[in-house]
Amino acid sequence: MKRLSKAVVAGLSIFTIGALISPTAVEAATKYFSTTKTVTARGSVNCPAGYKVTGGGYSIPSDRYTDTLVDQYVVTASYPSASGWRVTATRTRTTLDEKEGIVSTTTPYSATVYAMCVG
């Protein structure tokens, strides 16, 4: 039987300890960052002064379908900005017009944006 080197044994020990303490580490981080704030706005959102953005996301409406109208929402980008979070989206509206037939128009859409900020 081969013997494991001390480096391999040490690496396994660190991995095992890390796996065992990760829930505690997450709990400690949550308590440490007691000044976490979630902010929201339309299109883009900035963290309050003295806070740093740690993550973000968005909310858009569900696509809507009727006999004469279809609204489809698409997020084209979601990313951190200098002091917050920014989202760009579009809405494509397709209508059935008796004279013109099927008409589609795509316009920018302001999604609801969320940012997690830590101070």
One digit per residue, the tens of pLDDT, for the chain of length 119 reads: 444 333 333 333 333 333 333 444 434 444 444 556 777 778 889 999 999 999 999 999 999 999 889 999 999 999 998 889 999 999 999 998 888 899 999 999 988 999 898 88
91, 110: one domain: yes
53, 97: one domain: yes
Residue 66 pairs with which residues in a beta bridge?
none
pTM of the predicted model as reported, rounded to 2 decimal places = 0.63
55, 84: one domain: yes
Domain that holds residue 89: 36-118
73, 103: one domain: yes
Cα→Cα distances 97→52, 76, 82, 106, Å: 49, 28, 44, 16
73, 41: one domain: yes
60, 2: one domain: no
Burial 40-70 (b: 16+ CB within 10 A, else e): ebeebbbbeeebebeebbbebeeeeeeeeeb
Within a 10 A sphere around the Cβ of 96, how many other Cβ atoms? 13
Q: Report how far residue 113's alpha carbon sits from residue 86's, in angstroms, rounded to the nearest whole number.
A: 7
Q: Report how far residue 63's alpha carbon sits from residue 94's, in angstroms, rounded to the nearest whole number.
A: 11
Domain count within the chain: 2
